[in-house]
Amino acid sequence: MQIQITKTQNPSTMPPENELGFGRVFTDHMFIMDYEEGKGWQNARIVPFQNISLHPASTVLHYGAEIFEGLKAYRRADGGVQLFRPMENIRRMNRSAERMSLPLLPEEETLEILKTFVKLEERFVPKSFGTSLYLRPFTFGNDEALGVHAVSRATFMLIASPSGSYYKEGINPVGIMIENEDVRTVRGGTGYAKCGGNYAASTRAGERAAKKGYSQVLWLDGVERKYVEEVGAMNVMFKIGGKIVTPMLTGSILPGITRMSCIAVLKDLGYEVEERLLSVDELLQALKDGSLEEAWGCGTAAVVSPIGRLAFGEEEYVVNGGKIGEVTQKLYDILTGIQWGKEEDKFGWVYKL
Ligand SMILES: *Cc1c(COP(=O)(O)O)cnc(C)c1O
């Protein structure tokens, strides 16, 4: 794929690494290409970072035709830059596209796009451990008409944001509220797709949890409100009676790349991992009888996020004395070790640029 590059005339200065936060600062450029039915993807270009203009009838503005991905470029201990399992993000984006009737991307070319773009923006990959250049590819439907149907025009873009460490103040376990009212998605719905609408619809529950002093909600399934699904926008895992239990991918759960990597690391460490339905009753029972040893969320942003308190209705339970558990810590150390190039990549997960 031929990428036309127009460089900015006004290079910006990178803010100090400890002031980056998440998703507020952007690099100097962005990638963009257009899709038209019958013609495919065309006009691949990197241009200075700027606002985009849309027709007021653009599909994305009315019918939410939008999907995205999230991955990071990491600065290795030896100074180089690498991605973590980027092809998994590209493949997942195509599964999301298929669900939302948006055009699929050519996989190998998309990896080339990521590579070319990150190389161009390499100076924005921060250097301190825990920091990264967050990459946000996204596709949206862009027909200039109000009819509801599969789009014939779409836009793919890639933007990047140098981001600070998720754990600037150390890893502190969070309080989570089991959500009994709203559901994130349903089986047969869009739960397995990273589509914008899922996040708009789940914000309300998160806000309500925050008002009650909890960081996020634990989602239950949308049909019976019985089975545990995810925590906020992360997958969730538990250590119960020595085994690791994580909800199986039923279609309403986002198949996380961190989840998949955690499972591989855990199995490699000799743990038994069960991907199955986990009812909230079983979880509460395990909290009460003390067999619930650890609980954590996992996703690209945090890697792992230990759960220290879990609330159900008026009752609140403490997990592992409110401290990070041994397995959670081990996962964090191993995954971050591989991602930041401090440890040998025995799984073959890193993609060096
Ligand atoms: C992105 C996401 C995850 C985590 O996926 P990773 O590939 O590990 O970053 C989990 N749940 C939801 C709802 C997500 O959007």
- Angle in degrees, CA 153, 158, 161, rounded to 5: 150
Binding site membership of 258 for ligand 1 (Cβ less than 6 Å): yes
**Calpha distance 291→244 (Å, rounded):** 12
Q: Which helix (H) or strand (E) holds 337?
A: helix 326-339
Atom of ligand 1 at shortest distance to CA of 198?
A: 13
pLDDT in tens, 308-345: 999 999 999 999 999 999 999 999 999 999 999 999 99
Q: What is the mean pLDDT of the chain?
A: 96
Strands 350-352 and 315-318: unpaired
**CB burial readout 148-164, b (16+ within 10 A) else e:** eeebbbbbbebbbbbbb
Over pLDDT 90: what percentage of the chain? 95
**CB burial readout 214-253, b (16+ within 10 A) else e:** bbbbbbbbbeeeebbbbbbbbbbbbbbeeebbbbebbbbb
Mean pLDDT of 214-241: 97
Q: Quick check: 100 pLDDT over 90?
A: yes
Identify residue 164 by its one-letter amino acid code.
Answer: G
Q: Quick check: 148 pLDDT over 90?
A: no
Binding site membership of 194 for ligand 1 (Cβ less than 6 Å): yes
Mean pLDDT of 81-89: 98
Domains, the chain, ranges and CATH?
A: 4-163 (3.30.470.10), 174-339 (3.20.10.10)
Atom of ligand 1 at shortest distance to CA of 232?
A: 13
Q: Whose CA is nearest to atom 15 of ligand 1?
A: 233
Q: Quick check: 170 pLDDT over 90?
A: no
**Calpha distance 102→169 (Å, rounded):** 40
At 348 the pLDDT is: 97
Mean pLDDT of 23-46: 97
Q: Which helix (H) or strand (E) holds 334?
A: helix 326-339
pLDDT class of 133 with cuts at 50, 70, 90: very high
At 48 the pLDDT is: 98
Q: Quick check: 150 pLDDT over 90?
A: no
Token pair of 210, please? 């925050």
Q: Quick check: 248 pLDDT over 90?
A: yes
**Calpha distance 211→293 (Å, rounded):** 27
Binding site membership of 300 for ligand 1 (Cβ less than 6 Å): yes
Name the pTM for this structure. Answer: 0.97
**Residue 280 Cα, ligand 1 centroid: separation in angstroms?**
21
Q: Which residues pair with 4 in a beta bridge?
A: 45
Q: Whose CA is nearest to atom 12 of ligand 1?
A: 233
- Concatenating the DSSP letter of every residue in 261-316 gives HHHHHHHHTT--EEEE--BHHHHHHHHHHT-EEEEEEEETTTEEEEEEEEEETTEE
**Residue 168 Cα, ligand 1 centroid: separation in angstroms?**
21
Q: Quick check: 7 pLDDT over 90?
A: yes
The radius of gyration of the chain's CA atoms, rounded to the nearest angstrom, is 21
Cα–Cα nearest to 62, from 155, 196, 203: 196
Token pair of 150, please? 């599969």
pLDDT in tens, 259-288: 999 999 999 999 999 999 999 999 999 999
Atom of ligand 1 at shortest distance to CA of 259?
A: 8
Q: Considering all CA atoms of the chain, what is the largest pairwise distance in Å, rounded to the nearest integer?
A: 64
**Residue 71 Cα, ligand 1 centroid: separation in angstroms?**
10
At 168 the pLDDT is: 83
Over pLDDT 70: what percentage of the chain? 100
Atom of ligand 1 at shortest distance to CA of 261?
A: 8
Cα–Cα nearest to 258, from 169, 171, 331: 331
**Residue 255 Cα, ligand 1 centroid: separation in angstroms?**
7
Atom of ligand 1 at shortest distance to CA of 194?
A: 15
Q: Whose CA is nearest to atom 10 of ligand 1?
A: 234
At 286 the pLDDT is: 97
